[in-house]
């Protein structure tokens, strides 16, 4: 079973701009979210920076990572 299939996990984020800025400024480097299948998922705050709006980061996202659990990308679903 040596496929190169990316693992995909869905999760929601509701993070206002001030809260995100505390991550971005370095007081916390990782964001922890609860996945749709009820697991905790931790990833670098910088991985969702491109989704930051004036209000913050909100929505349903999908994280993709390889067989070594290395982050490939995060996409916004809605």
Query: Would residue 15 count as lying in a domain?
Result: yes
Query: Would residue 2 count as lying in a domain?
Result: no
Query: Would residue 1 count as lying in a domain?
Result: no
Query: Would residue 66 count as lying in a domain?
Result: yes
The CATH number covering residue 40 comes to 2.40.50
Query: Would residue 13 count as lying in a domain?
Result: yes
What sign for the dihedral angle of Cα 76, 45, 47, 71?
Answer: negative
Residue 18 has pLDDT above 90, yes or no: no
The per-residue pLDDT for 43 is: 92
Read off the pLDDT band of 1 (50, 70, 90): very low
Q: Write down the pTM of the prediction.
A: 0.83
Number of domains in the chain: 1
- d(Cα 37, Cα 14) in Å, to the nearest integer? 17
Q: What range defines the domain where residue 56 resides?
A: 7-76
pLDDT digits (tens, 9 = 90+) for 19-67: 888 876 766 788 899 999 999 999 988 899 899 899 999 999 999 999 9
The per-residue pLDDT for 25 is: 74
């Amino acid at each position: 079973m040596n496929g190169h299939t990316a693992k995909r996990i869905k999760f929601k984020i509701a993070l206002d701009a001030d809260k995100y800025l505390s991550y971005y400024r370095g007081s916390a480097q990782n964001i922890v979210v609860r996945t749709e299948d009820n697991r905790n998922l931790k990833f670098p705050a910088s991985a969702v920076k491109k989704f930051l709006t004036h209000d913050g980061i909100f929505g349903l996202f999908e994280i993709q990572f390889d067989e070594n659990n290395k982050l490939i990308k995060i996409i916004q679903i809605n």
